[in-house]
Amino acid sequence: MTFGFFLKEALRGLRRSSAPALAALLTVLLTALVLGVFIPIVQATTGTANEVRSRVAVDVYVKDSATQLEQAQLRRAIEKTSNVKSVEFISKGEALARAQQKNPKAFKEGAELLGSNPLPASFRVAPEDPDNLHLIVERLAPNGEPSLAAIDEVRDREEDTNKILSATGLVKALTAGLAVLLVIASVALIANTIRLSIYARRREVEVMKLVGATNWFIRWPFVIEGVIVGFFGGLLAVLLLTVAKETFIDPLSERFALLAAPETIDFPLLIVVLMLACIAVSAVGSGITLRRFLRV
């Protein structure tokens, strides 16, 4: 009987004060919409930033005179260095092929002119943490002196790296800051709307207490109301988002890399997260707001 009773009470409450309930529902709907648009944007941005960061690398050039054995030793030495994620060997031939691809004309003529391949073989070292790239450089070539005989030179393409790191760092910090602000604003907005709707019924709560109702007896219907409002607010938001995604984003995503960024949250997961967040915020919000009026 109890749950049915609470549910009935909640429905009665919604029916009898439908204006504040509608306001709460709209608030939930709007904030869920904004969050639903913003979460993928944040993720696409950080995803792109991370993708750019992954291009940061150290090049270790190998002396032409180095033997196979020395090369193998060098490879092992690099792999053992801390903060190294992966090592890619680029042979002289590959290096030439890549250079030719970038600038076909110049290299075609150059190679003919020189008669031999001027480019050295190299190891391209990808770091675990791009921000600590310099550790790898310092380890392999302390103060610019190569630590192994086979190394000709160690280069981290300093200027590019620094630009990439500072630009992507800023983008990530900005989006994270915006996301936090948005979440705080959403919770505050929903809490405020709920507070208004409960404030309108504080007399009722007082009477219930005087008749001898326990706090939870009074609170459950309000919490269930919150769940219902949150559920329908979230549902409407998700429906609108789906429609928007189908009509606007999907046709465009083929043309814009940002929209199709691989690390964007799955749409179904986004829906679930939004729904749960809406329900939780509005149920907990109702329960907590009520506490102030229960002190009779």
Partner 1 sequence: MYDGGSVAVDHASMRIGRGEFVFLVGPTGCGKSTCIRLLLKEIEPSEGEISIAGRALNDVPRSRVPYLRRNIGVVFQDYKLLPNRTVYDNVAYSLQVIGESRQETRRKVPDILRLVGLSTKLHNFPDELSGGEQQRVSIARAFVNHPPLLLADEPTGNLDPETSIGIMQLIYRINRTGTTVVVATHDKEMVDKMRRRVIELREGRIVRDEQSGLYRPDESTTEFAIRLRGEMGVGPEGHPN
Question: Would you count residue 211 as binding partner 1 (CB under 8 A)?
Answer: yes
- Other C-beta atoms closer than 10 Å to the C-beta of 116 total 6
Q: Where are the beta strands (DSSP E) in 156-270?
A: none
Alpha-carbon span 132 to 123, nearest angstrom: 18
The span of 24-32, 77-85, 133-141, 209-217 binding partner 1 (CB under 8 A) equals 209-217
Question: Would you count residue 5 as binding partner 1 (CB under 8 A)?
Answer: yes
DSSP-derived secondary structure letter, 214 = -
Apex 44 CA angle, 42 and 46, nearest 5: 65
Q: Where are the beta strands (DSSP E) in the chain?
A: 58-62, 84-90, 122-127, 151-155
Cross-strand bridge partners of residue 154:
60
Question: Would you count residue 103 as binding partner 1 (CB under 8 A)?
Answer: no
Alpha-carbon span 99 to 153, nearest angstrom: 19
The span of 97-105, 200-208, 231-239, 275-283 binding partner 1 (CB under 8 A) equals 200-208
Residue with tokens 């459950």: 220
| Site map (CB under 8 A) of partner 1, residues 15-54, x = contact | -xx-------------------------------------
The span of 107-115, 137-145, 162-170, 205-213 binding partner 1 (CB under 8 A) equals 205-213
Structure tokens belonging to residue 34:
């904004």
Minimum distance of partner 1 from residue 11's CB (angstroms): 12
Question: Would you count residue 69 as binding partner 1 (CB under 8 A)?
Answer: no
| Contact of 154 with 137, CB cutoff 8 Å | yes
Helix then strand count (H, E) for the chain reads 11, 4
Judged by CB under 8 A, which of 110, 204, 260, 273 binds partner 1? 204
Q: Which is nearer to partner 1, 152 or 206 (CB)?
A: 206
Alpha-carbon span 27 to 19, nearest angstrom: 12
Among 50, 57, 54, which Cα is nearest to 136's?
57
Question: Would you count residue 11 as binding partner 1 (CB under 8 A)?
Answer: no
Question: Would you count residue 208 as binding partner 1 (CB under 8 A)?
Answer: yes
Minimum distance of partner 1 from residue 40's CB (angstroms): 42
Q: Which is nearer to partner 1, 9 or 59 (CB)?
A: 9
Alpha-carbon span 210 to 40, nearest angstrom: 49
Question: Would you count residue 287 as binding partner 1 (CB under 8 A)?
Answer: no
| Contact of 119 with 96, CB cutoff 8 Å | yes
Alpha-carbon span 41 to 245, nearest angstrom: 13
The span of 75-83, 208-216, 237-245, 263-271 binding partner 1 (CB under 8 A) equals 208-216
Minimum distance of partner 1 from residue 192's CB (angstroms): 23
The site for partner 1, by CB under 8 A, has a size of: 21
Question: Would you count residue 212 as binding partner 1 (CB under 8 A)?
Answer: yes
Minimum distance of partner 1 from residue 35's CB (angstroms): 33
Q: Which is nearer to partner 1, 217 or 231 (CB)?
A: 217
Interface residues with partner 1 (CB under 8 A) are: 1-2, 5, 12-13, 16-17, 203-204, 206-215, 217, 296
